Amino acid sequence: MTPLPSPRTALTRVCRLLASLAALLAALPAQASFMQGETLAKAANVLAIVVIIIVPIVGIVVFWMVHVLPEKIAHKRQHPQTEAIQVLCLLSLVFGGLLWPLAWLWAYSKPVLYKMAYGTDKAEHHAADAAAHEGAQPHVMREDVARLRTDLEKLMTQGGAPGELAAIRDQLAALEPRLAAKTGEVH
């Protein structure tokens, strides 16, 4: 059995209960917002427009940017399978992002089998683009041809020219007039 509380503790409890009741009755009505009336309605309308229109647009843009990221990484790293990674990124957009982690891992992977097959782990078209960009300036092309001509002559004087060096010299001699014609067109 439980002992009955002493009259003193019962009186203390009753006093606390009455004090709490008085505090509740004396409290002012609470306001959950710092705005009232028409201002509150306008703020709610603005918030609804933001949530309904702006948030989905921002979400779609961020979703798109994240899904294009593996393609940009592959292009920057000169991955030989950049086009395949791009296709996987587009498919990931269709499938709700499920393929995106695979595209991301593929963009960062080193193409070992590609290197075994082709001797390089860089894409061919990237090297060709860089060479075309560098060789686009006529003065650079002239300097390269002159340097190659001197290197070739030095090799031929050192130990007799094998057939390949002679063929390269002949090809270089055939290209020099075309270079002169091209530089004449540019200037």
Core vs surface per residue 88-116: b (16+ CB within 10 A) or e: bbeebeeeeeebbeebbebbeeebeebee
Q: What is the pLDDT, as a whole number, of residue 187?
A: 46
Q: Is residue 76 part of a domain?
A: yes
Q: What is the pLDDT, as a whole number, of residue 78?
A: 87
Q: What is the pLDDT, as a whole number, of residue 160?
A: 62
Q: Are residues 53 and 109 in the same domain?
A: yes
Look at the chain and report how many structural domains it folds into.
Answer: 2
Q: Are residues 86 and 149 in the same domain?
A: no
In angstroms, the CA 36 to CA 27 distance is 20
Q: Are residues 113 and 80 in the same domain?
A: yes
Range of the domain at 104: 41-118
Residues of the chain with pLDDT under 50: 135, 186-187
120: Cα within 13 Å, side-chain hemisphere: 11
Q: Are residues 46 and 111 in the same domain?
A: yes
3-state secondary structure of 95: coil
Q: Is residue 166 part of a domain?
A: yes
Q: What pTM was estimated for this model as a whole?
A: 0.45
Q: Are residues 62 and 95 in the same domain?
A: yes
Interhelix angle 163-186/138-159, rounded to 10 degrees, is 160
Q: Are residues 92 and 141 in the same domain?
A: no
